[in-house]
Amino acid sequence: AQSVTQPDIHITVSEGASLELRCNYSYGATPYLFWYVQSPGQGLQLLLKYFSGDTLVQGIKGFEAEFKRSQSSFNLRKPSVHWSDAAEYFCAVAPDYKLSFGAGTTVTVRA
Amino acid sequence: GAGVSQTPSNKVTEKGKYVELRCDPISGHTALYWYRQSLGQGPEFLIYFQGTGAADDSGLPNDRFFAVRPEGSVSTLKIQRTERGDSAVYLCASSLTGLANNEQFFGPGTRLTVL
């Protein structure tokens, strides 16, 4: 069965600093890969997705992610964090219509 | 345009009671999904509808859980004889089709608390 691991439960980053969130997946083939963000009281919002092709994917809000097949990883990055980026971030994989999520990483942004 | 809406936003009930949670998907989306998110966890798949039929209900934890989508639009998740372990946020999502490369749009969720 596929699984998604987000090793960092909580990350604190200073405003303006860079951010990297880790995601590793376990699956027999390369599934579709996604990053979602969840702000308090809000639904999950898709940041970016990878299906095939260029392994560096650009998303909304200045986020990007890099797919590394050899490491089964799909890490999310942002060069300069804004206070509004404080939220919970979920990595997800989908071999088909069924999304399988990691446990999430909570990001706190300090001034 | 309108996104996915869910009602109620919060539901508090007593152990043993019956509850219904409603989802209004984006108009024109044929695929609808229910997920459950427990505290400190990512969402877990419950059921997938393609049109009016449940194409995959493998995530429903037991037979106390049931969902319908009679007209291929609004869906209702029904939980009988609720237990304290059912307390969670129930998320609904819809997508244009059921293909994996179609973005799933999520509603804000219904927070269910079973006392």
Give A62-74 pLDDT, tens digit per residue.
Answer: 999 999 999 999 9
Q: Specify which residues B76 forms β-bridges with.
A: B22, B68
The token pair at A49 is 């997705």
pLDDT recorded at residue B100: 80
Q: How far is CA B19 from CA A80, B66, B75, B87, B92, in A?
A: 44, 11, 14, 12, 16
**Closest CA in chain A for residue B99:** A97
Give me the mean pLDDT over the B68-92 stretch.
97
From A57's Cα to the closest Cα of chain B, the distance in A is: 15
CA torsion sign for A27, B43, A96, B58 is: positive
Among A32, A45, A101, select the one facing B101 at the smallest CB separation: A32
Three-state DSSP at A5 gives: strand
Residue B85 is given by DSSP the state: G
Residue-level pLDDT at B99:
83
Digit-coded pLDDT (tens) for A14-56: 999 999 999 999 987 778 999 999 998 788 999 999 988 889 9
The shortest CB-CB distance from A96 to any of B3, B43, B100 is to: B100
Contacts across the A-B interface (CB distance below 8 Å): 62
Please check the confidence at residue A88 and state whether its pLDDT lies above 90: yes
| Best CA proximity match to A79, nearest among A13, A33, A11 | A13
**pLDDT over 70 for what percent of chain B?**
99
Measured CA to CA, the distance from residue B47 to residue B60 in angstroms comes to 6
Q: Is A70 helix (H, G, I), strand (E, B) or coil?
A: helix
Among candidates B42, B59, B91 on the partner chain, residue whose Cβ is nearest the Cβ of A103: B42
Assigned token pair, B25: 């998907």
Selecting from A41, A90, A94 the residue whose C-beta is nearest the C-beta of B42 gives A90
Average pLDDT across chain B, whole number: 95
In angstroms, the CA B65 to CA B85 distance is 13
Q: Which of A36, A47, A50, A99 to mutate to test the interface with B (most CBs of B within 10 A)?
A: A99
Measured between its terminal Cα atoms, the distance across chain A in Å is 41
Number of Cβ atoms within 10 Å of the Cβ of B115: 10
* Strand order across the beta sheet in which B5-7 lies: B5-7, B19-24, B75-79, B65-68
- pLDDT for B104 beyond 70: yes
Return the pLDDT at B1.
Answer: 56
Q: Hey, how many other C-beta atoms are within 10 angstroms of the C-beta on B100?
A: 19
Residue B83's pLDDT is: 97
User: For residue A29, what pLDDT is reported?
Assistant: 77
Pairwise CB contact (< 8 Å): A97 & B99: yes
AA identity, residue A40: P
pLDDT tier for residue A1 given thresholds of 50, 70 and 90: low
Task: Note the pLDDT of residue B75.
Answer: 98
Look-up: residue for tokens 């934890």? B61
Q: What is the pLDDT of residues B10-56, one digit of tens each?
A: 999 999 999 999 999 999 999 999 999 999 899 999 999 999 999 99
- Quick check: A2 pLDDT over 90? no
If you search the block for the tokens 């590394």, which residue do you land on?
A68
Residues of chain A in contact with residue B4, where contact means CB-CB under 8 angstroms, are: 43
